Structure 1
Amino acid sequence: MATRSVSTRQALAPVTALLIGVGLLYLGFGLQTTLVPLRADVEGFNRFSIGLLGSTYYAGFVAGCMFAPFVILRAGHIRAFAAMVSLVSAAALAFPLVIGEIEWIVFRFAIGFCISGILVIVESWLNEKATNETRGIVMSAYVIITYVTITIGQLGITTMPLTNFALFSFCSIMLSLAAVPVALTRASQPVAIPVVRFRPRLLFTVAPAAFAGAFISGVMTGSLFSLGAIYAVDVGFTANEAAFFVSAAMLGGALGQYPFGRVSDFVDRRLVILIAVGATAVVALVLTMSASLPQPVLIVLGLAVGFTMLPVYSLSAAHAFDWTDPENMVETSAAIMLLYGIGSTAGPLISAAMMAVVGPGGLFLMIAVASAALAAFIAVRVMTRQRPDETMRSDFDIFSTAPVGGALTPEPIPEDDPLLETPYFAPNPEPVPPSGGEEHGTAAGADAATHPLNTASETADMEDSTRG
């Protein structure tokens, strides 16, 4: 046990300042995610407008996934980190100063964009500082810190009234402090961030179940964390009690990651996804029809829906990685995250419309319908396609599949990865014909069937070069 402790300290020592910054960031961010919709409700925003606030955050996050790397290339990691943290901190203070639906939508979009950029910086930094031996410890610590601090931050609204300016001030303080350990670190910043090509169509060709799982997971998760507190208030919770409901869902998601992921190492991951979304549909229907249950029961049901629903993204990512060759891991991870963001953008709008029609239960009715639709799709895929060969599968790694950041990958990013581009510094490399042509020809049909992403990727690259 002593050796393990020393090893863990040695692994985390080079990234301690960065992990402290992440913890402070998510304390403020977690508080803000619950505070903004509840304060919007106090200010008289209708349900659709509150749902739009959630959607615009995720729309900003998607935009950040695509464009924030260019900002980092231009300014460098530390300056870009400081700039984005400053913008998020300023937006936190702007909410109570300028109260209006349009203004708040702009603030939420900016926050989503900046949070996405911050995560790109943090994760690329962690990837570079970690070695093959310490990567699991470093990334697992990162994921644990994320879940714990978001959960604690969400409970921050219980400390004072929603109308108190101090809550937004506390958000701003935590977000501002997050920049301090990063700005003062003596560690060298990572090399220039490569820009990944987003090709979700290729992911659908290779792993349709992962494609659908990532998108529907975004729809459900974006809905729950944008409108979960509003659901709780509408069924009789106070604002403080609503924070416990949302935090219970987050805690349930953290608890569900490992058991679902570990089971999926021994059976077809799609079957585990099917079980998870089937259970989600059942719990969501109970929440839809049982809003009059005692509040402790509803909080337990909130924990249960988080336990079954949040691991769906991780399982989908792991399934996609099973079908992906190592050199294509980065692109696959980026495509999954993009699909998750798009789903998270659409989900709150649909859920808000459902709540306007059928009442607060509309939120979980939408989640039940979405999870049932995904279950049906997964069932069809299980019957029409075998699971990957055991030689292609890898063990579930929470740090490489957690829906808390950008393109986390199980392995270090190779510097010569042909799918990475650095557009400000070099043109796209010319396609290089693969060596050993006979291995890539029609005689290698078995290999093409076993490794579909290689074949699909090469075909897509040829199409890209033909289009110029």
Structure 2
Amino acid sequence: MVSAIGSVWALLLGIALMMLGNGLQGTLLGVRATIEGFPTGVTGLVMTGYYLGFLAGSVLAPRIVQRVGHIRVFAALASIASASVLLHAILVDPWSWGAMRLATGFSYAGLYVVAESWLNDRSTNETRGQILSIYMIVMLGGLALGQFLLNAGDPGDFQLFVLISVLVSLALVPISLTASPAPSFDAPTPVGLRDLYRVSPLGVVGGIGNGMAGGMLLGMGAVYAQIAGMTLAQVSLFMALIFIGAMALQWPIGRLSDLVDRRKVIFAAAVSVSVIFLTLALLPAVPVWVTLAAAFIFGGLTMPMYSLCGAHLNDHLEPRQMVAASGGYVLLNGLGAVLGPVTASAAMTGLGPMGFFLALAMVHGAIALFAIWRMTRRSAVPAEDQGAFVAMPVRGSPIAATLNPEAPGEFEEWKGLPADAADGASGTPRPAPGSSGESGFDVPQ
């Protein structure tokens, strides 16, 4: 573990500083938008800009890195992200903020591409799992700690925006000064929606729904907390508990999914979140401590669901196909995230604060119902044939899949499913890939 950290410490330090800034920025903008009197629906559109930019950056940034190089791209995008933060404090109107969120999302997607490809280059088959675990801790820990920086200044003033800019700018220092050579870069072409759905309908629907829920809570959570009358300290704690819950429950939920039908764990997590938030939506008054506990539970159940659905998808693939398929899965999750803030803001506009909980309950209820239906249409992969659960970063780039220790060090491009392959979406149960009498999803050579 020590040797693994030693090989990537500069990258991890830079990532930690980025996460501190990114964690604070999302929450600060939600609070500031409410202070400035932005309508809830308009705030939802502004917050959607980040996820649109992130989706575009996930597609375009790998090509830019291939042409320009890691360090130049990292420096350029970090500078754009840093400048965009400062412009929020200067140009306080929804149109400008929407454009800046778009630029910020694009920049962070590119920064993740650079960081994750560099981490993969510095890892070996023996250390990839350790480095991925450290990366997850740094990401979630940085995002959680960034929430508490909200209390370091007045959200209605400019100082917190300057702090974010400083953190993002400082992230450049350890990476720019590293003596290690820039890695070679090879990005997989993401797999399309149709092929992924044929492999695992629940993986696709769950991934999109999980992205939508994440976009709701991370994009509009601070807005909800402000409207609900929380203090600034309570808002920061509410948002931090989401990431703390994810850190606390990621491993036990993943471990459970390795022992039983993974679809049952996805169903249990989704229905639990749906019931909790439906209850909160229907209660006439919700104590703050109950809302804070719900944030912890949401983070602990929903964030691991991203990796659960990804693991369920991988259970129906050969290892060499996982990286390309995971690239498509990341983009599908990002598409769901684009829909999240707009959906939550529309619900809150029509129903008030309770609409926030109701929207979250409906999304998770839909995932739970789809999971039940899929369990009636397709036989389960035996627990002993399932791959091991691997926690993956929810807001990572498609390159993050190369750190998955379940995938081989070298991946191959997706060549499509064979014409005679059994279709997992057709409703005909079939055995797991590699079992007797089934060709699985081997791509034609």
If the length of structure 1 is used for normalisation, what is the TM-score? 0.87
Give me the whole-angstrom Cα distance separating, in 2, the residues matched to 1:381 and 1:451.
Answer: 21
Confirm or deny that 1:321 pairs with 2:314.
Answer: yes
2:359 corresponds to 1:366:
yes
Output one character per residue of 1:383-435: Cα deviation in whole Å (capped at 9) or x when no partner: 1111224564211122xx3313123232466557244xxxxxxxxxxx8xx9x
Counterpart CA distance in 2 for 1:182 and 1:450 is: 48
Partner of 1:21: 14
Query: What does residue 441 of structure 1 align with?
Result: none
Distance change (3 Å), C-alpha of 1:370 and 1:12: same
Closer, same or farther: CA 48–137 of 1 in aligned 2, 3 Å: same
Quickly say closer, same or farther: Cα 1:450–1:171, change in 2 above 3 A.
farther
Task: Report the aligned-residue RMSD.
Answer: 2.2
Find 1:298's aligned residue among 291, 303, 310: 291
**1:299–1:319 CA distance, 2 compared to 1 (3 A):** same
Q: Note if 1:453 corresponds to 2:444.
A: no
Q: Which of the residues 369, 383, 394 maps onto 1:403? A: 394
Quick check: 2:204–2:332 contact (8 Å CA) kept in 1? yes
| Residue of structure 1 equivalent to 2:148 | 155
Contact 1:88 1:114 in 2 (8 A): yes
Q: Which stretch of the first structure deviates more once superposed, 126-135 or 20-29?
A: 126-135
Q: Select between 203-212 and 234-243 the one with higher mean Cα deviation.
A: 234-243
The 8 Å contact of residues 209 and 336 in structure 2, kept in 1 or not, is answered as yes
Q: How does 1:286-435 map to 2 (within 5 A)?
A: 286-290=279-283, 292-390=285-383, 392-398=385-391, 401-407=392-398, 408-409=400-401, 410-411=404-405, 414-415=409-410, 417-419=412-414
Equivalent of 1:45 in 38, 41, 46: 38
| Residue number in structure 2 paired with 1:218 | 211
CA separation in 1, counterparts of 2:383 and 2:34? 51
How far did residue 69 of structure 1 move? 0.9
From the superposition, tell whether residues 89 and 319 of structure 1 become closer, same or farther in structure 2 (CA, over 3 Å): same
Amino acid at match of 1:157: L
Higher mean alpha-carbon deviation, 191-200 vs 362-371, is at 191-200
Greater alpha carbon shift after TM alignment, 20-29 vs 307-316: 307-316
Q: 1:83 aligns with which of 54, 76, 79?
A: 76
> Could you tell me which of 212, 229, 237 is aligned with 1:236?
229
Whether 1:184 and 2:184 are equivalent positions in the alignment is no
Classify the secondary structure of the residue corresponding to 2:16: helix
Q: Determine whether 1:276 maps to 2:283.
A: no
Q: Deviations over 1:73-102 (max 9, x none)?
A: 121001101111110001011101111111
> Highest Rg: 1 or 2?
1
Provide the rounded CA distance (Å) in 2 between the counterparts of 1:146 and 1:290.
Answer: 34
1:406 maps to amino acid: S
Q: What is the distance in 2 between the residues matched to 1:446 and 1:164? A: 57
Cα distance in 1 for partners of 2:3, 2:76 equals 30
Give how far 1:194 is off: 2.5
> Given that residues 324 and 451 in structure 1 are in contact (C-alpha distance below 8 angstroms), is that contact kept between their aligned partners in structure 2?
no
More moved, 38-47 vs 305-314: 305-314
In 1: Cα distance, 2:37 partner to 2:314 partner? 45
**Seq. identity, %:** 34
Unaligned runs of 5+ in 1: 1-7, 420-430, 435-444, 462-468
Matches of 1:446 and 1:350 in 2, distance apart?
Answer: 37
C-alpha distance 260-451 of structure 1, shift in aligned 2 (>3 A) = farther
CA distance in 2, matches of 1:323, 1:71: 32
Secondary structure of residue in 2 paired with 1:453: coil
- Stretch deviating more after TM superposition (32-41 or 299-308): 299-308
What is the Cα deviation at residue 331 of structure 1? Answer: 1.4
Q: CA deviation at 1:143?
A: 0.3
2-structure distance, mates of 1:79, 1:122: 13
Query: CA deviation digits over 1:105-129, x for unaligned, max 9?
Result: 1100111111111111111111111
For residue 306 of structure 1, report the CA deviation from its aligned partner.
Answer: 1.9
Contact map agreement 1:256 1:310 (CA 8 A) in 2: no
- Classify the secondary structure of the residue corresponding to 2:441: helix
Distance change (3 Å), C-alpha of 1:232 and 1:141: same
| 1:202 partnered with 2:195 | yes
3-state secondary structure, aligned to 1:329 = helix
Q: TM-score, normalised by structure 2?
A: 0.91
State the one-letter code of the partner of 2:256: V
Shift of 1:201: 1.3
Structure 2: give runs of 5+ residues left out of the alignment: 419-431
